[in-house]
Structure 1
Amino acid sequence: MSVKDLINKCLTSGLDIVAFIIVGAVFVGFKNYAAPHHSGFFCSDSSIRFPYHNSTVPTEVNNIISYGVPLVCLIVLHWFLFARLKKGWRGVLFDLKLLVFFGLITQTTTQILKIAVGRLRPHFLDVCAVNLDLDDTVCGSINNPTYVSNYSCIGNPELFPESKEYLKNRIKEARLSFPSGHSSLAFYGMTLTIFILHRSKLTSLPVQLVQASCLLYAMFTAVSRVTDNKHHPGDVIAGSILGAIFALAAAYQMPRRNAGDICEKSTNTEMELITNNTLMETDVSASSISNLKMQIS
């Protein structure tokens, strides 16, 4: 490797690290320090009066599955199939870099939208416990409802008895309904896995079963966010589309490695070896017969 190539490689790696740091810093900043938009509500709005429930799919589990499934898929494909391309682990490292980077972009974009929109979750009033008596004086009449915007949240200590800091975080999360973070990350990881397997040209039923299972998990996670009273249906749809778009962007930049062609080439090579061995054996037999005839003569 020349000095110029080494410099270019180091420069590229340095820029990649900078990009990861920037995206990670933006995500952490909006996640931990940015205040969501203060949205008001109508007292008659039944969509924010649902009870609070724990998540069917916890955040940690969704993160592990959404990143872990495509990661394992890439490693297995490279280990058993793509290694025959004789490119070592450069290919899998490049793909893993794209997987993590676009995953971070998906989560960062989702978090920015959550903060900017500040849509109230279905369980908002149950978690918030507003500091007002929601009577006709505050809410207005049925024919002339009042948009309540001058309020604050006390928090429901019966739901979150752990600590005041945890209760404060739950109140903040109750304002971050749009879009669904679970749905965006689940659809990102599962859609990316489906396209990785599709572009490998593996058509066996077990591979298609894995693809169907990925789609089923993403849809189950999205639906559970509605049934758990965490999100409105529109939040889930928006998050799912967002995750799928970033998955397509990541898959588009991953080099096409046709595992089917690799297997076919391997089979053709084996057939050529068998044919050549057969021809050699035939030539040896013909030569032996000729020598035997000459000895008899």
Structure 2
Amino acid sequence: MSSINLKQFALSYLTDWSVVAAFWILSELANHLPVFERDFSLSDTLISHPHKPSQITGTVNHFIALLVPAAILLVASLLQRSFFAFHNGLLALLAGRGMARLFTNVLKARVGRLRPDFLARCKWNEIAQKCTGKAATVLDGRKSFPSGHSSAAFAGMAFLSFWLAGQTAGWCFQVPVPAASIRSSRLARLSVTLMPLCWAVYVAVTRLEDYRHHKEDVLAGAAIGIVCAAVYLAFWPSPLSVRSFASHTYGQPRQLHEGDERRRGTFDMELTRLEDDMDA
């Protein structure tokens, strides 16, 4: 890539990277917003479950949902010798993750829903008429909705599912597949694209098992993650469209794919014009 092209490339994506940076910065600021202190009853069975360690910590979940998709993108890009593919993949991944984190943190503070183990965190003192548990633990107990683990896991893994579907045509059954080979199995292609979502579902289930969230929190977190992961479509062709797999740029970022379609369209029009001239 020449220095001029590199400069044009950097300028064309400057705004995109600025928006991604804004998502992450704002999401961190939102994590420190004042939390709505919802009233509660000591007899509420929904918040009287025991407080126990998480099966999957927030740090582990964060890095798996970020580094696993990024590592797969890197390996695929090296095999394809395409920096552009890695750049667009990483940009879409970080955009979706940052957006999901921002929405999740804002909602946690504004809703202030109590976790299922809130009373165990609170350690209510009848004489003082207040919670006597560790302040940070009690505060975190007021951030149940939506599930941050679920939104992070689904944002990362749904993106990876979209990307795998775009590489394998696993969700577009109209696309022809090679005959009499391992690659001809549509079920195998579909299964590969759904594997990342299995991890995200597992993460969500552990949040229920650990009494960290109510089922509505987990479902809302999953929905936020999937919707935000759809930012993939801003940089890559739809994995559900036959047109996405109709050119030699199959599996490549949207800009390359659309450029190839324009070239093909121009070539087709030139052929049509030539045929019309010959008929005349």
Return the TM-score normalized by structure 1.
0.68
After TM superposition, list the pairs within 5 Å mapping 1:8-27 onto structure 2. 9=9, 11-27=11-27
1:253 aligns with 2:234: yes
Partner of 2:146: 179
Larger displacement relative to structure 2 (229-238 or 39-48): 39-48
Q: One-letter code of the match for 2:233?
A: Y
The CA deviation at 1:170 is 1.4
Q: One-letter code of the match for 2:102?
A: T
Structure 1 residues 64 and 186: alpha-carbon distance in aligned structure 2, compared to 1, 3 A threshold:
same
Partner of 1:103: 97
Partner of 1:38: 37
Give the alignment partner of residue 224 of structure 1, picking from 189, 206, 216. 206
Which structure has the larger Rg over C-alpha atoms?
1
Q: Provide, for residues 38-67 of structure 1, a one-character-per-residue CA deviation record: whole Å limited to 9, x for no partner.
A: 101123310000000111111111111111
- 2:207–2:213 contact (8 Å) kept in structure 1: yes
Structure 1 residues 208 and 10: alpha-carbon distance in aligned structure 2, compared to 1, 3 A threshold:
closer
1:153 aligns with 2:135: no
After TM superposition, list the pairs within 5 Å mapping 1:68-107 onto structure 2. 68-80=67-79, 82-83=80-81, 88-107=82-101
Partner of 1:191: 158
Q: Secondary structure at the match of 2:49?
A: coil
Structure 1 residues 98 and 119: alpha-carbon distance in aligned structure 2, compared to 1, 3 A threshold:
same
Q: Secondary structure at the match of 1:65?
A: helix
**CA–CA distance in structure 2, aligned partners of residues 202 and 132 of structure 1:** 61
**CA–CA distance in structure 2, aligned partners of residues 59 and 227 of structure 1:** 15
Q: Provide, for residues 210-248 of structure 1, a one-character-per-residue CA deviation record: whole Å limited to 9, x for no partner.
A: 433312111111111011000001100111111111112
Structure 1 residues 107 and 133: alpha-carbon distance in aligned structure 2, compared to 1, 3 A threshold:
same
**CA–CA distance in structure 2, aligned partners of residues 254 and 43 of structure 1:** 50
Give the alignment partner of residue 236 of structure 1, picking from 209, 218, 232. 218
**CA–CA distance in structure 1, aligned partners of residues 163 and 21 of structure 2:** 26
Q: Secondary structure at the match of 1:197?
A: helix
- 1:36–1:116 contact (8 Å) kept in structure 2: yes
**CA–CA distance in structure 1, aligned partners of residues 245 and 127 of structure 2:** 65
Identity of aligned residues (%): 28
**CA–CA distance in structure 2, aligned partners of residues 79 and 10 of structure 1:** 20
The CA deviation at 1:255 is 2.3
Partner of 1:292: none
The CA deviation at 1:185 is 0.9
Q: One-letter code of the match for 1:77?
A: A
The CA deviation at 1:90 is 1.9
**CA–CA distance in structure 2, aligned partners of residues 202 and 90 of structure 1:** 20
- 2:153–2:200 contact (8 Å) kept in structure 1: yes
Partner of 1:269: none
- 1:39–1:120 contact (8 Å) kept in structure 2: yes
- 1:200–1:260 contact (8 Å) kept in structure 2: no
- 1:119–1:175 contact (8 Å) kept in structure 2: yes
Q: Across the two proteins, how many residue pairs are aligned to each other?
A: 229
Partner of 1:160: none
**CA–CA distance in structure 1, aligned partners of residues 131 and 166 of structure 2:** 50
**CA–CA distance in structure 1, aligned partners of residues 161 and 123 of structure 2:** 43
1:214 aligns with 2:196: yes
Give the alignment partner of residue 118 of structure 2, picking from 124, 135, 142. 124
- 1:36–1:115 contact (8 Å) kept in structure 2: yes
Q: Secondary structure at the match of 1:42?
A: coil
RMSD: 2.9
Return the TM-score normalized by structure 2.
0.72
**CA–CA distance in structure 1, aligned partners of residues 17 and 3 of structure 2:** 23
Structure 1 residues 59 and 197: alpha-carbon distance in aligned structure 2, compared to 1, 3 A threshold:
same
